[in-house]
Amino acid sequence: MAERTAQRLTKPEEYAELLDRFSTFLFDCDGVIWTGPTLVPGMTDVLTMLRSKGKNILFVTNNAKKSREMYKKAFDGFGIQASVDEIFGSAYASAIYLSKILKFPADKKVYVIGEEGIEQELKSVGIQFTGGTVRSKQNKEIGKFFAELILDIPLSPFDRILKIECLSPPEIIPA
């Protein structure tokens, strides 16, 4: 197979060829659809044009802080048509991997070192969890709690408050 190199499209026929060649387009959310609180200029027009041509659109993200429902609200806020089924994030990927690929047992728990997004996705596939946003912010209490748990799998996509003390056995946590 011949190696392809990136090419800048400059002519209408080049864009038409690109659109004819693909039925599905994937867009990263953070930094492509929007940057911070700002929608990338022209993005709504691009997505509308692709939909008018019957193209499938998927929105992907490696940001595990947000669930698909949370991303849907962001799309709504920007006035972008998007369904939850078109959004595929790392939090959802983790939940699906545990439930469908690993067939994680219903009587076991995942310890989440993360935020609300992963929690929502785990709930959506019926996986029990602890940790995450429900754990105490008191490191000593967290360490004691963590050390007493019988965990089946830890899951850590992202956590803004995690400190090493959270994972230390209680007898070595500084007072």
To the nearest whole number, what is the mean pLDDT of the chain? 83
Residue-number span of the structural domain to which 136 is assigned: 104-172
Task: Please give the model's pTM, rounded to 2 decimal places.
Answer: 0.75
pLDDT tens-digit map of 76-109: 999 999 999 999 999 999 999 999 999 999 888 8
Task: Note the helical H segments in 107-170.
Answer: 116-124, 139-148
Does any domain span residue 7? no
Does any domain span residue 62? yes
**Would you state the pLDDT for residue 120?**
95
Catalytic positions, written as ranges: 28, 30
Smallest Cα–Cα separation from 122: which of 145, 143, 92?
A: 92
**Would you state the pLDDT for residue 101?**
94
Could you tell me if 62 and 86 lie in one domain? yes
Residue written as tokens 């008191």? 138
Domain CATH number, residue 17: 3.40.50.1000
pLDDT tens-digit map of 146-164: 555 555 555 556 555 555 4
Does any domain span residue 5? no
Half-sphere exposure of 27 (CA within 13 A, CB side): 22
Task: Note the helical H segments in 41-168.
Answer: 43-52, 68-78, 90-96, 116-124, 139-148
- How many domains does the chain divide into? 2
